[in-house]
Amino acid sequence: MRQLLALAAGLAVLAASACSAPAPPRSDAPPATPAGPAILPAPTGAHPVGTTALYLKDTSRPDPWNLDADTRELKVTLWYPTKQREGRRAPYLTAKESELLLKGSGIAGVPYDTLSKTRTNALQDAEPAGRRLPLVVLSPGFTKPVSTLTSLAEDLASRGYVVAGIDHTYESYATTFPDGRIAECLACDSDTDPGFGTGVVQSRVADVSFVLDQLPSKWDGSALIDRSRIAMAGQSIGGAAALAAMVKDPRIRAGIDMDGTTYARIPKTGLSKPFLFIGTKQHITGGPDNSWDRDWKLLTGWKRWLVLTGTEHTSFTDSPLLADALAIKPLPGTLPAPRAAELTRTYVAAFLDQHLKSLPQPLLNQPSSRYPEAKFCPATCAQS
């Protein structure tokens, strides 16, 4: 069902998402004036960050959305540590991708190329540096390119991770391939079909396993990756895919769902891999989404369930950081964009440091006075 999504800083967008949260009403305040290009916050880790893109073809299966394509094509964006400190910063989106994303999201009143001017921190095609680094796979929300998780990806790379972000072709408003073709959102026409969410998740699980198969031979920097330390994280239906991929693919050791309704069938014997649910109050026990309640009981290993007060469905993406550039005023009660980004980066990194780097993280064991927005559920959460 098409539902209204809200950016965490108050950007209300129209997104065809099978697992999105209902948006609060628009503010009656007059529209803001664009504040200039968006600038993503600097990464907090010790390393400069490089990025590059891979284009992969899975000839073993047809595309699930394009009936005329007998091969599944994927774009994978890699972020990684580098020693290089100078160079061309990677583009956030092309002008055409920005246009298609804004039009698809129902955003008007600013130039359609606005998001192509967003300032990132990663250096385009910089030389990778390091050895035996953990790998984190990222999967974005439905209709969104993986670039909407750039702030998180850059931060993880600066902390010593290789990050592989997957653009799931025909599930976002725009994916550009090297020959200039732009794949638009064919799946958007099917989002009211029965079982749509389950189908999207199954397709993404196949995408993830294929990417893990291909990285060692298709990326020149693959020697950096420690293939025994792989995790996956995703927002919205990307988070649902993270849980499903953990069930299906033994290479994925740990997972994070950022505010995504889940669809995976977990074995009755349970899933013992570490998992983090982090999201909005819609997931509080008794709230409108009971999928986390259902799956929580079947997670038999290390697990945490965090609700962040003042967040909305897209608070775990770059969306709040882009709101000023898009001339959108924040809704009352939402966290400031820098704070939403800080919370997401902090808790995601803590989880990954503990489970991929064996670095204990007391932050994950109890509430913190430094981050009072984080409520540990289900024990300390109640439906309000």
**What domains appear along the chain, each with residue ranges and CATH number?**
3-16+39-377 (3.40.50.1820)
Residues whose CB falls within 8 Å of the CB of residue 30, separated by 6 or more in sequence, listed in order: none
As a whole number of angstroms, the distance between CA 353 and CA 360 comes to 8
pLDDT of residue 258 exceeding 60: yes
Taking only the tens place, the pLDDT of each residue in 11-70 is 333 333 334 443 333 444 445 566 689 999 999 999 999 999 999 999 999 999 999 999
pLDDT of residue 261 exceeding 80: yes
Q: Please, which pLDDT band fits residue 283 given cuts at 50, 70 and 90?
A: confident
Give the DSSP H or E segment for 60.
none
User: Is 285 or 363 the better-scoring residue by pLDDT?
Assistant: 363
pLDDT of residue 180 exceeding 50: yes
Q: What's the whole-number mean pLDDT along residues 171-197?
A: 94
What was the pLDDT predicted at 31? 54
What was the pLDDT predicted at 30? 47
User: Which pTM does this prediction carry?
Assistant: 0.91
What was the pLDDT predicted at 20? 42
pLDDT of residue 99 exceeding 50: yes
Alpha carbon 220 to chain centroid distance?
A: 24
Which range is most confident: 165-169, 260-264, 265-269, 289-293? 165-169
Percent of the chain whose predicted confidence (pLDDT) is above 90: 83
User: Cβ-count burial of 44 within 10 angstroms (0-12 exposed, 13-18 middle, 19+ buried)?
Assistant: middle
Q: What is the mean pLDDT of the chain?
A: 90
Q: What's the whole-number mean pLDDT along residues 77-104?
A: 97
CA torsion sign for 140, 145, 151, 157 is positive
What was the pLDDT predicted at 192? 84
Residues 235/20, Cβ–Cβ less than 8 Å? no
Residue that has been written with the tokens 């209902």 in this structure: 22
The greatest distance separating any two alpha carbons of the chain, rounded to the nearest whole angstrom, comes to 55
What was the pLDDT predicted at 329? 82
pLDDT of residue 373 exceeding 50: yes
Pairing of strands 133-139, 175-176: unpaired
Residues 234/212, Cβ–Cβ less than 8 Å? no
Worst-scoring range by mean pLDDT, 89-93, 113-117, 283-287, 357-361? 283-287
User: Cβ-count burial of 60 within 10 angstroms (0-12 exposed, 13-18 middle, 19+ buried)?
Assistant: exposed
Q: What's the whole-number mean pLDDT along residues 173-185?
A: 97
What was the pLDDT predicted at 382? 58
What was the pLDDT predicted at 10? 34
pLDDT of residue 384 exceeding 50: no
Taking only the tens place, the pLDDT of each residue in 216-252 is 999 999 999 999 999 999 999 999 999 999 999 999 9
Pairing of strands 133-139, 162-167: parallel
Taking only the tens place, the pLDDT of each residue in 315-345 is 999 999 999 999 988 778 899 999 999 999 9
What was the pLDDT predicted at 109? 92
What was the pLDDT predicted at 330? 79
What was the pLDDT predicted at 289? 78
What was the pLDDT predicted at 119? 98
* Amino acid letter, 242: A
pLDDT of residue 174 exceeding 80: yes
Q: What's the whole-number mean pLDDT along residues 164-174?
A: 98
